[in-house]
Amino acid sequence: MSQQHPPVPPAEVAAEQRHRPVLVIDYGAQYAQLIARRVREADAYSEVVPSTASVAEILAKDPAAVILSGGPSSVYADGAPQVDPALFDAGVPVLGICYGFQAMASALGGTVAQTGLREYGGTALRARPEGSTLLDGQPAEQDVWMSHGDSVSAAPEGFTVTARSAGADVAAFEDDERRLYGVQWHPEVAHSTHGQRVLENFLRRGAGLAGDWTAGSIIEEQVELVRAQVGTGRVICGLSGGVDSAVAAALVQKAVGDQLTCVFVDHGLLRAGEAEQVERDFVAATGVNLVVWDATEAFLTALAGVTEPEAKRKAIGREFIRAFEAASRQVVERARAADGDDGEVRFLVQGTLYPDVVESGGGQGAATIKSHHNVGGLPDDLQFELVEPLRALFKDEVRAVGAELGLPAEIVGRQPFPGPGLGIRIIGEVTRERLDVLRAADLIAREELSAAGLDGEIWQCPVVLLAEVRSVGVQGDGRTYGHPVVLRPVSSEDAMTADWTRLPYDVLARISTRITNEVAEVNRVVLDVTSKPPGTIEWE
């Protein structure tokens, strides 16, 4: 069958497709989230949905395109997830990847078999880019990342085979007339040298998407949604000092202006200088109404004697709600005095991100790894209606939106920091003295990483105080019995997975020397070299 590229839709048609989702159907792949991220890097909005979703449920989301992910199953095994052939008759462009490619082939009458020619890891691919939608602009010989034991041995009727490898006679196929495409390899991983081009070709040439999902368009869309949700109501937002709450507040401020009041609960668990940054820099950048509530003593009292990690998180969450409610009453009283009405605040802004939802068990089959400060810590009798303008975004997308909104680089570029703050970076009881020790060590680590120009190379570097552990040391002419601190530098795109960052030895040496010289209570600095999984980014 000759390959005919579908025409790119005219501007008015493309405009109607803006922000319709590209759905990634998850067949148990370790890379489903990564596929969604790669789609967004191509300036198209994406969502991950489970393989149990019916065709009716998929179509109800009005997808601009569908991508079938990889997975660990064999299509012919009992209980293996299958693709309903009705999906391919719905007129929606579909791309199958790895298992999704095989499931598509099987559903459409092709042949999938265990050929004995398994391919794992880097693989040489022989492509036919001439006239191909997916492979256009790519070399005929390229390296891709394979992970399959089964292979498509015969393409379905109407498809043209456009690539082969040593272990797969059918490594890619296309049917432009029905806008159906598939590849055996993983284009979403960096090891596939032209993988992003494959995805972009599918989205642009195969699905006809305009690629206009950008920071600016996200802001426009969310401003409209917030205005529609809030109307003339009053809104409150709890600023934590972090990127997420700052960007969420700035977005809502742009939408409803003085209807928003931000509350900064200073729980005494922030790092050095961060409370001042919220009160000075954020207000200067946005002009937002800000109420500062100093609750340090109340938090320290609530944490006295508490050592178990989840108990700490819950204690901090409970105390935050109490402090926030007290501050909210002050907001209402001010509104009554100023406007003479009941001063009711109906809406609460939260900086919830997509990884927050997943880690808190918000997706089908997702285990609750920890109760999250944004998703899992709210009381059952919450009287506010939630406004969550960032709920579908990854962290790097939030930063891009913040920069577009004009927030200072010091806020937008700030490393991720947990809502419970330093309270979960002290292993053991949280006390004022231990917080002072950890704050001093953390500040040194941040200063040295910044001085070395490494801020952009690491996702974050938690510093953990092992408060219940002491080690023998020698400082000056005497023996010491001090605390160790742990450096946890990690690299990640979205915190769903992470690897420890290979910092230069001279930087590590400077951090260690300064901490043991300048923080009297610490006599040992150690490095955490655990990836996620199996470890989490935070220790508690």
CB crowding 408-424: b at 16 or more within 10 Å, else e: beebbebebbbbbbbbb
Work out whether the CA dihedral 183, 187, 192, 194 comes out positive or negative: positive
Indicate the burial class of 373 (C-beta count within 10 angstroms; 0-12, 13-18, 19 or more). Answer: buried
Q: From the candidates 98, 237, 262, 461, which is the catalytic residue?
A: 98
Phi and psi at residue 497, to the nearest 5°: -130, 160
Q: Does the annotation mark 410 as catalytic?
A: no
In whole angstroms, give the CA distance from residue 183 to residue 172.
4
- Give the H or E element holding residue 224: helix 215-230
- Given phi > 0 = left and psi -120 to 50 = alpha, else beta, which region is 491? beta
Q: Omega of the bond prior to 533 within 30 degrees of 0, cis?
A: yes
| 441 neighbors 480 (Cβ within 8 angstroms) | no
Q: Choose among 402, 403, 417: nearest CA to 273.
A: 417
Q: Which of 188, 200, 274, 540 is catalytic?
A: 188
**Separation between Cα atoms, residue 299 and residue 266, nearest integer Å:** 9
Is 461 noted as a catalytic residue in this protein? no
Longest dimension (CA), the chain: 84
CA gap 140, 58 in Å, rounded: 35
Cβ neighbours, 10 Å, residue 91: 8
Q: Report the 10 Å Cβ neighbour count for 85.
A: 13
Q: Count the Cβ atoms, other than its own, within 10 Å of residue 326.
A: 14
Whose tokens are 């265990």? That residue is: 114
Peptide bond into 534 cis (omega under 30): yes
Question: Helix/strand/coil (H, E, C) string of 166-179?
Answer: CCEEEEEEEECCCC
Determine the Cα–Cα distance for residues 278 and 346; give it in Å rounded to an integer: 24
> Helix, strand or coil for residue 180?
strand
Cβ neighbours of residue 75 closer than 8 Å, sequence gap 6 or more: 82, 99, 102, 103, 106, 112, 150
Q: DSSP letter string over 1-30?
A: ----PPPPPPHHHHHHTTT--EEEEESS-T
Pick the catalytic residue: 119, 148, 174, 186?
Answer: 186
Give the span between the Cα atoms of 64 and 90, in whole angstroms: 11
Residue ranges of E strands in 429-477: 463-465, 471-475
> So which residues are the catalytic ones?
98, 186, 188
